[in-house]
Amino acid sequence: MKRRAMIAAFLAVISSPACAAKLSGPPRIVDGNTIEIEQTKIRLSGIDAPETDQICLDTHGQKWACGIAARDELIKHSNGQTWDCHTTGRDEYGRSLGSCFIAGEDVNAWMVRSGWALSWGRNIHIYAVYEVVASHAYAGLWSGAFITPWDWRHRNKGTIIIGASSVPTDAQELLLGSALLSDPPSPECLIKGTVGGNGERIYHVPGQFGYGQIDMTKKRGERWLCSEAEAEATGWRKAAR
C-alpha cells in the first residue's frame, strides 16, 4: 500500500499544473516523438513512434529502417517552421509531455494519421481514429509489417508482428532474429547503448574504450543510437571512458 501511495503521489506531481508550460519556436527533432525547444526536451504525448534503430518490413517484405524514416518525415514536415507546444507533466526520463502544433495543425495527430506513429498511452482513444485512417491507406509503417514501438523495446520470440494487410511468413525470423541489430540501421547510428546488470543504461561512442568489443546481438535491451542528444533524451548515460 505504501508503494502504491508513493506512485500515486509521484504521478500527481508530474501531472500537476506546476509542470505545465507553453513553448514556441523551431524545434530540434531528436526522433519520431521527441523534440527540443529552448533546451526543453518534449515527448509528444498520446503517440508512440518507432525507435531510430527499429527495423520494419516494407510492402515487398524487405527490411527497412522505419525508425529513421519516421524521424526524417517529421523533420521534413516541420521544415523549420515554428511549433507551439503545450506541456503538462513529465515522463520517466524527465522529458516534458506535450501536444504540439504547426500553424494550428496538431503534429501528434499528423504523425499517427501519416502512419509514422501509433496512438498510445492513457489517452490512446484521442488519436485512435487517425490510426485507422493510416492503416486503411497503407501509410508509413502500415505499408508493410512491423512491431509496435512499445513491443519493439521489449521484444522476444513471442512478440506479435502486425500489418494493414498481411504479415510475411518469414517476418518472425527477419524482425526477431538474434542477429537483427548486429549492424547499425544506418551509417549515422553508430552509438552503442548497453544495459548493465543493475539496469543502468550506458552508451558508448566510436573511439571509446571497449567500443569495438560490444556485441549488439547479446542482449535485447541493447540498441543503436543515432546521436548523443537522442541517447540522453531517452535515459542513457555516457560511459566514463
pLDDT given for residue 142 in this prediction = 97
| Rounded Cα–Cα distance for residues 77 and 134 (Å) | 16
> CB of 23 within 8 A of CB of 85?
yes
Q: Which domains does the chain have, with CATH numbers?
A: 17-177 (2.40.50.90), 180-241 (no CATH)
Return the bridge partners of 37, or none.
Answer: 40
Dig out the grid coordinates for 13 from the structure.
506531481
Burial of 175 (0-12, 13-18, 19+ CB in 10 A): buried
pLDDT given for residue 23 in this prediction = 95
Secondary structure letter of residue 170 according to DSSP: T
| Rounded Cα–Cα distance for residues 52 and 30 (Å) | 9
- DSSP codes of every residue in 98-158: EEEEETTEEHHHHHHHTTSSEE-STTGGGTHHHHHHHHHTT-GGGGSEE--HHHHTT--TT
Q: Label each residue of 48-107 as H, E or C.
A: ECCCCCCCEECCCCCEECHHHHHHHHHHHHHCCCCEEEEEEEECCCCCEEEEEEECCEEH
- Map residue 205 onto helix, strand or coil: coil
pLDDT given for residue 6 in this prediction = 38
- At 51, the amino acid letter reads E
Q: Name every residue whose Cβ is closer than 8 Å to that of residue 81 and which is 6 or more positions away in sequence.
A: 26, 102, 103
- Map residue 46 onto helix, strand or coil: coil
| Rounded Cα–Cα distance for residues 53 and 157 (Å) | 18
| Rounded Cα–Cα distance for residues 61 and 46 (Å) | 29
- Map residue 199 onto helix, strand or coil: coil
pLDDT digits (tens, 9 = 90+) for 132-190: 999 999 999 999 999 999 999 888 888 999 999 889 999 998 898 766 778 898 899 99
| Rounded Cα–Cα distance for residues 124 and 48 (Å) | 10
pLDDT given for residue 134 in this prediction = 98
Could you say which residues of the chain have pLDDT below 70?
1-19, 123-124, 178-179, 218-220
